Amino acid sequence: MPPEKKQAAPSAPHPFGARRMPDLLHGHIWNKLLVLALPIAASAMLQQLFNAADVAVVGRFVEGAEHARAAMAAVGSNTPIINLLVCFFVGTALGATVLIAQCIGRRDHDGIRKAAHTGVMVGVLGGVGMALLGQLIVRPILDMMQVPADVLNPAELYLRIYLCGLPIILLYNFEEAIFRSMGDTRTPLIVLSCSGVLNVLLNLFFVLILKRSVDGVAVATVVSNAVSAAILGLLLCRGRGYVKLEWRHLRIDPAALREILRIGIPAGVQGMVFSISNICVQFAINSLNTVVMAASAAAYNLEVFTYCITSAFGQACTTIVGQNYGANQLRRCSRTLWVSIIFSGVLLGAAAWAMLSYGEELLALFNPDKEVVDIGMIRLRYILIAHIFSVFIEALTGYLRGFGFSLAPALCVLGCVCGTRFFWVYVIFPACPTFACIMAVYPVSLGLTALFIAAVCVVYQKHASSHSSLLSLH
């Protein structure tokens, strides 16, 4: 690697006269990584609380035990589909994060403006297109997932309402990506905290006061996301950090669009691959019974919080590496990777210990039925072991994305995760049709994926012996 090129500290004030953003190009890495990653993790957890609140409210407050189980299973059966959409949105938005971060490192203010406005337009137009397409294929998807007959109609209703909010949800993800590229992860966290509280209150209002079921909690989720998107949009229009959104600049710049899609589409596909493989696993879960479906939904809404930790450090790594790559500080990029792995592993270990220690009590918050709790604990044990490998997957992938190199990790995930899980569901599971058997696929598939992405990173590093070789990848 060439020696780092010294950069002058960014001058204050920043463009547009906005408040000073964190300086990710100088000083210690560990404290900057924590400042970025912890709010990202908290934000992701709050987003998951939207769905967790839906599951918990219908599980505990819908009248009648059978109706509550059916409503809980209906929301839970949609979780893999919703995650598929959200993972694609977040991944695609990472294209904007990387492009803007690299422009910040280069002090390319015109590039920052074009990338930010293009990202917002992609969010809105892409959301509208996906919402319309989604409405046409809702029932075929649920039929393909073999959702039981007693769950099918409420599951379809919940998903159709959620799809109506896709333009808002995708817009929010691109707005959040803009803030992250500047090193500001605190503002999205504050905004999401407010809308998260609103989501819970609206859930209770629709279910307890209006006596609604899955339709009420779906509307509450869409409204809460709309509030988040509106607030972030208003802040960006007023000028936050390097970016100020202006109506006259809202257009798609072809060069910026190409870069966003070149980086974002593979990242989005990688996220979708995880979700597609989870939908495949959900087929097997649905073939068992409604109790298992409810238990799996409850456990998922707990385990996802530990995954948020590893994902957050990967995304923070992307932002820091992106800015430093733009500033030609390659050694600092490498140090960011190792600090990300260490911090992510330590925090994941602590969270997993707490989750396993109090798992039964936490699962009972969703549904106090002992059978649901016991089955949910089986899932938690397997998944938390699997998340050890997620530490390496997310950090290495985030590191490579910071350079704009996102295709190879996506191919690794496609081959290892999808291939392994499809083989497991259609070959291993039929020979041993138990819930524990299907859960064992998670540590196996993630372990393989971590191994292959590590190999890709080693090969990449060998070819990245100079700054010019890094640029040749673009």
Closest CA to 222 of 153, 269, 185, 167: 167
Asked whether the predicted pLDDT for residue 9 surpasses 50, the reply is no
Question: Per-residue confidence at 12, pLDDT binned at 50, 70, 90?
Answer: very low
**b/e burial code for range 372-395 (CB count within 10 A of at least 16 → b):** bbebbbbbbbbbbbbbbbbbbbbb
**pLDDT reported for residue 61:** 63
Q: Give 81's pLDDT tier (boundaries 50, 70, 90).
A: confident
Q: What is the pLDDT of residue 343?
A: 93
Least confident of 32-36, 70-74, 259-263, 344-348: 70-74
Q: Which of 11-15, 71-75, 177-181, 286-290 has the lowest mean pLDDT?
A: 11-15
**What one-character DSSP code corresponds to residue 440?**
T
Share of the chain above pLDDT 90, in %: 13
Helical (H) or strand (E) element with 108: none
> If you search the block for the tokens 């196996």, which residue do you land on?
444
Question: What confidence tier does 240 reach under pLDDT thresholds 50, 70, 90?
Answer: low
Within 8 A by CB and 6+ apart from 65, the residues are none
pTM more than 0.85: no
Chain position carrying tokens 């050890």? 388
pLDDT at 463: 56
**Which of 172, 470, 174 is CA-nearest to residue 322?**
470
pLDDT higher at 283 or 461: 283
The token pair that represents 191 in the structure block: 């905004």
CA distance 38 to 313: 8
Inform me whether the pLDDT recorded for 3 exceeds 50: no
CB 114 within 8 A of CB 244: no
Rounding to the nearest 10 degrees, give the CA dihedral for residues 118, 87, 47, 338: -90
Q: What is the mean pLDDT of residues 256-265?
A: 88
Q: What is the pLDDT of residues 95-112, one digit of tens each?
A: 888 888 888 888 888 888
Write out pLDDT tens, residues 395-436: 999 898 888 888 888 888 888 888 898 899 889 988 888 888
Q: Percent of the chain, pLDDT > 70?
A: 88
Contact yes or no for 263/404 (Cβ under 8 A) = yes
* Residue 65: how many other CB atoms lie within 10 Å: 10
Q: Please, which residues bridge with residue 243 across strands?
A: 240
> pLDDT by residue (tens digit) across 302-355?
888 888 889 889 989 988 988 888 888 888 888 999 999 999 999 999 988 998
What rounded mean pLDDT belongs to the chain? Answer: 82
pLDDT higher than threshold 80 for residue 6? no
Q: Return the higher-pLDDT residue of 460 and 36.
A: 36
Given a cut of 50, is residue 200 above it in pLDDT? yes
In this predicted model, what pLDDT tens digit does every residue of 48-69 receive, in sequence order? 766 666 777 776 666 656 666 7
The residue with greater pLDDT, 112 or 71, is 112
- The pLDDT assigned to 10 comes to 42
Query: DSSP state, 403?
Result: T
Cα–Cα distance, 271 to 275 (Å, whole number): 7
**pLDDT for position 468:** 37
Alpha-carbon distance of 407 to 401, in angstroms, equals: 9
- Do 32 and 24 contact (CB within 8 A), yes or no? yes
Please count the other Cβ atoms lying within 10 Å of the Cβ belonging to residue 204.
16
Beta bridge partners of residue 240, listed in sequence order: 243
Confidence (pLDDT) at 323: 86
CA dist 362 and 355 (Å) reads 8
d(CA 186, CA 441): 36
Question: Looking at residue 62, what is its pLDDT?
Answer: 65
Cβ neighbours for 459, distance < 8 A, ≥ 6 positions apart: none
Q: Which residue has the higher pLDDT, 75 or 227?
A: 227
The better pLDDT of the pair 340, 88 is held by 340
Cα distances (angstroms) measured from residue 210 to each of 202, 205, 213, 215? 10, 7, 9, 11
Please check the confidence at residue 19 and state whether its pLDDT lies above 50: no
Residue 444, pLDDT above cutoff 50: yes
Q: Report domain extents, the chain.
A: 27-472
